[in-house]
Structure 1
Amino acid sequence: MVAMEETREETPQDLRNLALKVAGLLEEAGQHALHDQLNPRNLAQPSTENADRGPRYKLEVDNKIMRFMSARIADIAHFDGFWTTRPAESRPGQRYWYIGKIDGVINYVRRMSEWTVTAALFEFGPDNEPKPIIGIVHAPALGLTYLAARGAGAVRIHKTAVGEKRDKVVPSMTSSLDGSVLSYGMSFIPSESQRALDVASSLAGRPADIKRVGPVSLDLCKVADGTYDAYFEPMLHVWDIAGIAAGTVVVWEAQGTLSRWDGERIHWRHDNDVVASNGLIIRELQHYLQQYPWLDSINQR
């Protein structure tokens, strides 16, 4: 691994193998989180941060996950460190891990199964812009892992009673909003939730179904594997970047599309309106999304 860090000449298979190793670590971390979820005690305390913008939760298990993953990844391939402690300026070729906290906190606290632990590896390109090149999304309560690495495709790993099943991840072939199955996300912040609900309402009568389950990382992976034909969510925040990045690599490597609602690329240091699709219905969907633009009042909070 040292040679890989120094030369940056690894093959897509090298990146895939690294992703598999990190996926193994996420499975360990996820088991600890699942144990805590199943333990009948108070899982979270309300956070006083941004209390005027809605309820948020602080999970004890998040600190355990971060400590465990940071220490173990440092032993495998530290590269240039971690996204949250990177310097103000980075150079082309530098790489940083972004380890996510529990994605889907409300689901986790309410003892639902749809929550994940995530990891992504960012690389700074020649333009000095970061881009995720490895993404792992693990849903412990579902026994499900998605992983992808640049140039190596995307894989879904499902734990079953008879062993581990691995499938190549490919999106759906649905070519119209009519009869499609969509998913959307919404925030605890009223103005942001209203935009999501307005879009969902405007779509009424066209999709066969519109799901609302979450979290973002899992929704993106379900677009990648064809469970959903598209997913949209307004104003995903900087604290969502780890989950977005991990799911994004899975979508990209499955040959799906992902962008902001206006069609521009995702900004990895800022808030984003996010839409992912199988690539066939994105233009139709964007027609609806663009009727509800990012309001200045929200943008200037």
Structure 2
Amino acid sequence: MEDYKPYLTEALSIARTAGAIIKTAFTNRATLSIDLKNANDADLVTQVDRHVEQVIFSNLRSVYPSHKFVGEESVSESESKRTGLDDTPSWVVDPIDGTTNFVHGFPFVAVAIALVIKGRPVVGVVYNPIMEELFYATFGGGAFLNETPLPLPPLKPLPSLSTALVASEYGSDRAPEILDPKVRTLHKVVASPARGVRTIGSAALTMCYVARGTLDAYWEAGVHAWDVAAATVILREAGGIVVNWEKGSREEKGAEAYDLCSRNVLCVRKTAGAGEGDVIVEKIRAAIEPVQYARD
């Protein structure tokens, strides 16, 4: 197996640099210049998002000039709006996951950096500099929060949705054909009943909280590859499940494959009981109403 630790070391260093910029800007956010994406009041971008992405890519290019670089702001400002992910080693970055949180001073904000090789995230770093939460993992090397292995003990059973604290998001697209099925799905899961529902505003952090074991499950449609790539390897290395809404093929080690560019995600934490996570996945899948998004 390839040693991904050198890549992780580089990603951690760059994430800390980016985090320092984000934290300073968060403290002084009253002076922020805020733009709307596609004239959507629910989809924001700031000069800090753009600056942080430039800093990250400049540092990565100096070390890995032959790699590909995919970032939220560079893709959103391109004509194709596509990630262009292929077999080339690719760094997939969200400079500020949770921009709306950032603008409003809600501290669930993170920089997310992933190395993706042949469609599989093999290095992931998710750093919330406001709350000093540094999640990271390499494929086959385990997952950690500030050097503590994940999931955090004690490992709890998850016999049914009735004992689960779940999370989902409404997303920035409020068109009825997008929003209505999301609301109906949420209603069906809550009525199952789930114990509680949380909406955090950052896909990367939400998945990391599932990896940590403080959230039990999470699903969302409309996510992009940069939202979920880093957290995917973190959550899987923490023993959790990361899959698409529709059942997929099996990977080499028997886990269900996950398509990063599918625009949806469903995940469940590691559980104490064998097969409990798979049962929760299928329970949520049964409640989900499909939402159509163009692929990344």
Please give the TM-score of this superposition, normalised by the length of structure 2: 0.80
| Aligned with 1:121 (options 115, 125, 129) | 115
In structure 2, relative to structure 1, the CA distance for the partners of 1:134 and 1:31 (3 Å cut) is: same
| Aligned with 2:25 (options 17, 36, 49) | 36
The Cα of 1:29 is off from its aligned counterpart by: 0.9
The Cα of 1:185 is off from its aligned counterpart by: 1.7
CA contact (8 A) 2:188 2:287 kept: no
Cα distance in 2 between the residues matched to 1:242 and 1:89: 11
Answering whether residue 280 of structure 2 is matched by residue 294 of structure 1, we say no
Aligned to 1:3: none
Cα distance in 1 between the residues matched to 2:206 and 2:244: 15
| Aligned with 1:267 (options 224, 248, 259) | 259
- Structure 2: give runs of 5+ residues left out of the alignment: 75-81, 249-256, 271-275
Answering whether residue 174 of structure 2 is matched by residue 195 of structure 1, we say no
CA contact (8 A) 1:176 1:281 kept: no
Cα distance in 2 between the residues matched to 1:100 and 1:39: 21
The Cα of 1:58 is off from its aligned counterpart by: 2.0
User: Which residues in structure 2 correspond to 1:22-171 (within 5 Å)?
Assistant: 22-47=11-36, 49-51=37-39, 55-83=42-70, 90-91=86-87, 94-124=88-118, 130-157=119-146, 166-170=147-151
CA contact (8 A) 1:177 1:281 kept: no
Aligned to 2:268: 277
The Cα of 1:182 is off from its aligned counterpart by: 1.1
Aligned to 2:228: 244
Cα distance in 1 between the residues matched to 2:293 and 2:29: 40
Aligned to 1:183: 167
The Cα of 1:138 is off from its aligned counterpart by: 0.4
Cα distance in 1 between the residues matched to 2:109 and 2:266: 20
Answering whether residue 245 of structure 2 is matched by residue 258 of structure 1, we say no
Q: Which runs of 4+ in 1 moved over 4 A?
A: 84-91
Percentage of identical aligned residues: 19
In structure 2, relative to structure 1, the CA distance for the partners of 1:288 and 1:154 (3 Å cut) is: closer
Aligned to 1:209: 196
Query: What do residues 172-218 of structure 1 show as CA deviations (whole Å, max 9, x unaligned)?
Result: 53232122111112212224343333223223353322111130000
CA contact (8 A) 1:232 1:275 kept: yes
* 1:34 aligned partner, one-letter code: K
Query: What do residues 27-70 of structure 1 show as CA deviations (whole Å, max 9, x unaligned)?
Result: 111111111111152424232x433x653212101221122111
The Cα of 1:259 is off from its aligned counterpart by: 1.0
Give the alignment's Cα RMSD to 1 decimal: 2.7
Aligned length: 267
In structure 2, relative to structure 1, the CA distance for the partners of 1:56 and 1:267 (3 Å cut) is: same
CA contact (8 A) 1:182 1:228 kept: yes
In structure 2, relative to structure 1, the CA distance for the partners of 1:219 and 1:172 (3 Å cut) is: farther
Cα distance in 2 between the residues matched to 1:104 and 1:37: 12
